């Protein structure tokens, strides 16, 4: 026995309750893990699609930048870069998924059509490049959103698996052994009591027999 537990009936009942609770907990955690795994694989598809979209957006944006730098000149692009000095707002909500708090990130809305500078004199390729990089930023945020969710769910699956394993491999067998030990001690005690009682009974019976034998001999005399 790992710890010293008084082999009493109350402890036995307590351990039995604990065993029931542990088995039920392990079962619940296994169901949670299965649900998280289902969610994880569903999200993997979304994440792979977001990665593919990011790769495509990146290729298009950098090709566009390559051409705009060549045709419109790097100074022209740097000049427009000075005008585009706005911050990017990303909305993040926290969603509860089977008890796991996962972030839900909304990709930014650029209002693609807005022009922060005069379109006159700006190369068409430069404007295309600006639009492509907006699309690339959206793709980056989408990948960040799905991969953060994926990581959080993955971490939770690992944590839940560790808990299930701890319950199944350690806690439940441990309680089972404790119950067995207590029961064995209690059974032994019960057996000893029966034996004592039998001996007392046999002593009482032999005393009765002796007393009866004395009475019979006295009557006969």
Q: Is position 87 an interface residue for another protein (rule: CB under 8 A)?
A: no
**Secondary structure (H, E, C), 1-31:** CCCCCCCCHHHHHHHHHHHHHHHHHHHHHHH
Reduced DSSP (H G I as helix, E B as strand, rest coil) percent helix, strand, coil of the chain, to 5: 75, 5, 15
| From 4-12, 48-56, 80-88, 178-186, span contacting another protein (CB under 8 A) | 80-88
DSSP states along 111-125? -TT--SS-STT--HH
How far is C-alpha 27 from the geometric centre of its chain's CA atoms? 14
Q: Is position 121 an interface residue for another protein (rule: CB under 8 A)?
A: yes
Q: What is the DSSP letter of 89?
A: -
Q: What is the DSSP letter of 108?
A: P
**Least distance (Å) between residue 63 CB and another protein:** 9
Q: State which of residues 9, 31, 45, 78 lies at the interface with another protein (CB under 8 A).
A: 78
Distance CA 206, CA 153 (A): 76
Distance CA 21, CA 25 (A): 6
**Least distance (Å) between residue 119 CB and another protein:** 5
Q: Is position 96 an interface residue for another protein (rule: CB under 8 A)?
A: no
| From 45-53, 89-97, 117-125, 175-183, span contacting another protein (CB under 8 A) | 117-125
Packing angle between helix 9-71 and helix 172-220, nearest 10 degrees? 180
Distance CA 120, CA 31 (A): 62
Q: Is position 41 an interface residue for another protein (rule: CB under 8 A)?
A: no
**Least distance (Å) between residue 135 CB and another protein:** 14
Q: State which of residues 4, 10, 96, 118 lies at the interface with another protein (CB under 8 A).
A: 118
Residue 41 or 71 having the CB closest to another protein: 71
Distance CA 22, CA 16 (A): 10
Residue 83 or 191 having the CB closest to another protein: 83
Q: State which of residues 6, 85, 93, 218 lies at the interface with another protein (CB under 8 A).
A: 85
Of 51-70, which residues contact another protein (CB under 8 A)?
A: 66-67, 69-70
Q: State which of residues 5, 44, 127, 144 lies at the interface with another protein (CB under 8 A).
A: 127
**Least distance (Å) between residue 156 CB and another protein:** 42
Contact footprint for another protein (CB under 8 A): 66-67, 69-71, 73-76, 78-83, 85, 113, 115-122, 124, 127
């Amino acid at each position: 026995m790992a710890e010293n537990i008084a082999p009493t009936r109350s402890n036995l009942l307590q351990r039995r309750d604990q065993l029931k609770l542990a088995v039920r907990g392990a079962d619940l955690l296994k169901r949670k893990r299965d649900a998280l795994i289902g969610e994880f694989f569903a999200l993997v598809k979304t994440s792979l699609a977001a990665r593919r979209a990011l790769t495509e957006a990146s290729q298009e944006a950098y090709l566009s930048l390559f051409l705009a730098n060549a045709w419109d000149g790097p100074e022209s692009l740097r000049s427009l870069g000075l005008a585009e000095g706005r911050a990017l707002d990303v909305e993040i909500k926290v969603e509860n998924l089977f008890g796991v708090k996962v972030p839900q990130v909304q990709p930014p809305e650029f209002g693609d059509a807005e022009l922060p500078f005069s379109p006159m004199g700006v190369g068409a390729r430069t404007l295309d490049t600006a639009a492509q990089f907006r699309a690339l930023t959206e793709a980056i945020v989408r990948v960040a959103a799905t991969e953060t969710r994926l990581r959080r769910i993955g971490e939770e699956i690992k944590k839940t698996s560790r808990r299930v394993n701890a319950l199944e491999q350690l806690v439940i067998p441990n309680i089972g052994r404790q119950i067995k030990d207590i029961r064995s001690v209690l059974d032994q005690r019960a057996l000893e009591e029966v034996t004592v009682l039998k001996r007392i009974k046999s002593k009482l019976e032999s005393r009765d027999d002796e007393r009866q034998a004395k009475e019979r001999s006295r009557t006969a005399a």
